[in-house]
């Protein structure tokens, strides 16, 4: 227990340093941009603009602004939007992250349910048609950008599924798929597939390579010689060791997927956090850009810490003791 606590505290300390670096770099890069958040507002009286600059501390030296921001973050206050005044960044994140997290969770479930079996089948049927089909799917998932996949899905739904099967063949409207919004089940089918396809491909390729390596180990041959059922060999012996690379990548992968995809959210008109992030960058909304970036960084660092701990618990060769690295 003492070693685990020490490990967690060490990772948290490292995470805090990383977070500070992200905040600092993002803060100063944003303020290096020419202009200010209020320069595009038409006919803004000088006195009102001066009041706004004072409210957001933009009239103070950059170093003072930085200290103000660090102090607010320490209190959990990410500030108020500079463009959507009266609306806090915290409230925006709470509202937008619900849809982004829903999309991300569905994409992760799809990726695990499709990627793990695909990798196992490809490894067990190495060199056969099943392996080749699995690797073609993996190559497509990795090489084809998500916006292209989203575009192809739009084309399929409009012209083939809804246009041909529903309208021309007369299939019941209950099978209709809609591609805009996030408020009903039929709108939540394609976006998770488009978002999770890359992760499916990544999991399948990693698991295939590791499974092929593990299946050639002596302890697997011994289990086969003892007459252990193939199912037990795969699930109890081979998969446990082959899954370790997947555990390693799942931290950043889950964080990236759970926070949603800007492209997928835009393509399918999903009111997620990505929409606010893109708008804030376009509008030079400093507090919104910084707030969402800090949120993403905290989420990613947190997932990395959790995955490091899970990896150490899953792999018996790794110990959380003195001098050991995870």
* pLDDT tens for the chain, residues 1 to 326: 677 778 788 888 998 999 999 999 998 988 887 766 776 656 667 777 788 777 877 788 888 889 988 998 888 888 888 877 778 888 888 888 888 888 889 999 999 999 999 999 999 888 899 999 988 988 888 888 888 888 888 888 888 877 777 877 777 777 778 877 888 888 888 899 999 999 999 999 999 999 888 888 888 888 888 888 888 888 888 888 888 788 778 877 887 787 657 788 888 888 888 878 888 887 788 888 899 889 888 888 888 888 777 766 766 555 554 444 44
Q: What is the pLDDT of residue 325?
A: 47
Write phi, then psi, for 55 (nearest 5 degrees): -60, -40
Query: What is this structure's pTM?
Result: 0.78
170 φψ region: left (φ > 0), alpha (ψ -120 to 50), beta (else): left
Q: How far is CA 266 from CA 74, 146, 197, 277, in A?
A: 32, 11, 17, 11
In sequence order, what E strands does the chain have?
A: none
Residue given tokens 């960044």 in the structure block: 89
Q: How far is CA 287 from CA 53, 98, 179, 247, in A?
A: 13, 20, 32, 34
Q: Is residue 3 part of a domain?
A: no
Domain hosting 97: range is: 14-314
Q: Is residue 1 part of a domain?
A: no
Tokens of 35: 């202009």
Mind listing the pLDDT tens digit for each residue in 84-132? 777 888 888 888 888 888 888 999 999 999 999 999 999 988 889 999 9
Asked if 90 and 78 count as a contact pair (C-beta separation under 8 A), the reply is yes
CA distance 223 to 270: 50
Q: Is residue 152 part of a domain?
A: yes
Q: Is residue 320 part of a domain?
A: no
Q: Is residue 141 part of a domain?
A: yes
Check which CATH number belongs to the domain holding 178 and give it: 1.10.3720.10
CA distance 26 to 33: 11
Q: What is the pLDDT of residue 23?
A: 92
- CB-based contacts of 253, cutoff 8 Å, min separation 6: 108, 199, 202
CA distance 311 to 319: 10
CA distance 125 to 119: 10
Q: Is residue 5 part of a domain?
A: no
Q: Is residue 324 part of a domain?
A: no
CA distance 267 to 152: 11
CA distance 188 to 99: 10
Tokens of 312: 């150490």
Count the domains in the chain.
Answer: 1
Q: How far is CA 294 from CA 70, 73, 148, 314, in A?
A: 11, 9, 29, 30
Q: Is residue 6 part of a domain?
A: no
């Amino acid at each position: 227990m003492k070693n685990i606590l020490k490990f967690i505290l060490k990772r948290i300390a490292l995470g805090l340093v990383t977070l500070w670096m992200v905040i600092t770099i993002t803060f100063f890069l944003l303020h290096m941009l020419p202009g200010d958040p209020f320069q595009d507002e038409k006919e803004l009286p000088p006195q009102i603009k001066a009041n706004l600059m004072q409210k957001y501390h933009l009239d103070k030296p950059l170093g003072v602004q930085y200290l103000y921001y660090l102090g607010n973050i320490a209190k959990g206050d990410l500030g108020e939007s500079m463009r959507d005044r009266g609306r806090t960044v915290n409230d925006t994140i709470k509202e937008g992250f619900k849809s982004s997290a829903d999309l991300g969770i569905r994409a992760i479930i799809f990726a695990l349910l499709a990627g793990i079996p695909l990798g196992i089948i490809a490894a067990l049927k190495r060199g056969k048609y099943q392996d080749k089909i699995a690797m073609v799917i993996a190559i497509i998932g990795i090489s084809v950008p998500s916006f292209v996949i989203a575009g192809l899905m739009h084309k399929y739904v409009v012209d083939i599924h809804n246009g041909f099967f529903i309208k021309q063949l007369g299939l019941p409207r209950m099978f209709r798929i809609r591609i805009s919004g996030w408020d009903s089940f039929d709108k939540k089918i394609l976006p998770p597939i488009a978002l999770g396809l890359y992760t499916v491909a990544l999991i399948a390729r990693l698991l295939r390579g590791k499974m092929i390596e593990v299946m050639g180990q002596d302890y697997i041959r011994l289990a086969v010689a003892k007459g252990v059922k193939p199912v037990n060999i795969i699930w109890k012996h081979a998969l446990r060791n082959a899954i370790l690379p997947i555990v390693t990548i799942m931290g950043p992968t889950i964080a990236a997927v759970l926070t949603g995809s800007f492209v997928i959210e835009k393509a399918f008109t999903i009111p997620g956090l990505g929409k606010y992030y893109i708008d804030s960058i376009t509008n030079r909304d400093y507090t919104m850009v910084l707030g969402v970036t800090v949120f993403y960084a905290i989420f990613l660092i947190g997932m990395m810490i959790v995955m490091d701990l899970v990896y150490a618990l899953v792999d018996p060769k790794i110990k959380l003791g003195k001098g050991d690295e995870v």
